[in-house]
Structure 1
Amino acid sequence: MQIRVVHHGRRTAAAATATVVDVTSRGPHPWVRFSPFYPHGGIPVPLSPGVTGTSVEAIWQALKVFESTGVDRTLLQATRMTGLKRTERRYGRVLGHRAGLDGSGLLDYETARRRIYLPAYRHVLDHHLSAELAQLRRLATAGPLTLLDYTTNDDVADLSKPLSHAALIRLHLLGEWPGG
């Protein structure tokens, strides 16, 4: 399978010869369902037994801790795909992500990616997007497949750029999920 991840605004000549799928929050149905902002519901909040959230982004933002404010449990039930981001401009410097809603410790950025973001997104892939993943596999088997995202970073340890969910989809399809 030949699967590439390309920045949404930079469709290349190679993408012109491939099947192109926009998996961003602005993509068409059913591909928009791959967006971390999509409110699937019932996503277990990592490190928080018995608690669920509506979207991966809602979980990620809810567990973020700032200088002026802690976790935001209300985000876990947000059904919108906009207005989820909590920023330093509004809340001050990010201190880390809480190790669970009721955890006492804070996780650094890379550890939070590994212990919060990856498990939450993997749950969505495994439990909410089976049909869409099967369709992407068929497309990739038939010819080159290009996934569009706003970032292309597939390295969890590269903290200089946001992690690409399209890159995670690619790794999942290839059986190369980060950390096994």
Structure 2
Amino acid sequence: MVVQVAGRRRGAASLAAAFPGATVIDVTSRGPRPWVRLSPFYPHGGIPVPFSPGTAGASVEGIWQALKVFDTADVDPAKLTATGMTGLKRTVRRFGQVHGHRQGLTGSTLLDYESARRQIYLPVYRWVLEHRAAEEVQGLRRLAEAGDVVLLDYTTNGDVADLSTPLSHAALIRRHLLGDWPA
């Protein structure tokens, strides 16, 4: 099974030259159905929020953004219920420096970036792959068993410990398909 990750901004000719004969699938929020359901921005609903028993969020990105803590803003529970795939980001420009991610909506512990990736983002995204996008994952698995697959994302970083660039959900899908989920 060959599954690779490439940047979404690459042109079709560049992708065809780099990955001849591969099935190319855009798994971003701008991708086509059904693959858009693999985007962290997709509002599946009912996604358990880590360290917040009985609380659910609409999307992976909504949960990630809701738990972020800044100079001038703490958690934002409204992000949990947002169902639009835009307007979810909470930025440094608006709220000042990020101090970390709160370990749960009412927790007292702030997690550093890597710890938040491991304790919030990874478990939430894996839960979505297993419970809300299982059909799409199976579809990708079938395609990858039949030939090479390239997943498009805005970033290609699959190393949870590499904090220099955002984590690629396409790289996480690849690792999930290959049975290599990060610890």
TM-score over 0.5 for the pair:
yes
Unmatched segments (≥5 aa) in structure 2: none
| Cα distance in 1 for residues equivalent to 2:165 and 2:182 | 16
1:7 is matched with 7
CA RMSD between the two structures? 0.8
- Do residues 28 (structure 1) and 29 (structure 2) align? no
Taking only the aligned residue pairs, the percentage that are identical comes to 68
Q: Which amino acid aligns with 1:90?
A: R
- Residue number among 58, 62, 68 corresponding to 2:62 in the alignment: 58
1:87 is matched with 91
- Residue number among 105, 109, 122 corresponding to 2:109 in the alignment: 105
- Do residues 120 (structure 1) and 148 (structure 2) align? no
- Do residues 178 (structure 1) and 151 (structure 2) align? no
- Corresponding pairs, count: 179
| Cα distance in 2 for residues equivalent to 1:96 and 1:63 | 8
Instruction: Give the match's secondary structure for 1:4.
Output: strand
| Cα distance in 2 for residues equivalent to 1:131 and 1:37 | 18
Q: Which amino acid aligns with 2:139?
A: Q
Unmatched segments (≥5 aa) in structure 1: none
TM superposition score normalised by structure 2: 0.96
Q: Which amino acid aligns with 1:48?
A: S
Q: Which amino acid aligns with 1:81?
A: M
Q: Structure 1 residue runs of 4+, over 4 Å off?
A: none
1:76 is matched with 80
1:45 is matched with 49
| Cα distance in 2 for residues equivalent to 1:170 and 1:121 | 13
Q: Which amino acid aligns with 1:114?
A: R
TM superposition score normalised by structure 1: 0.98
Alignment of 1:125-164 (within 5 A): 125-164=129-168
Q: Which amino acid aligns with 1:116?
A: I
Deviation track 1:128-147 (CA, whole Å, cap 9, x = no partner) reads 11111111011001110000
| Cα distance in 2 for residues equivalent to 1:15 and 1:27 | 19
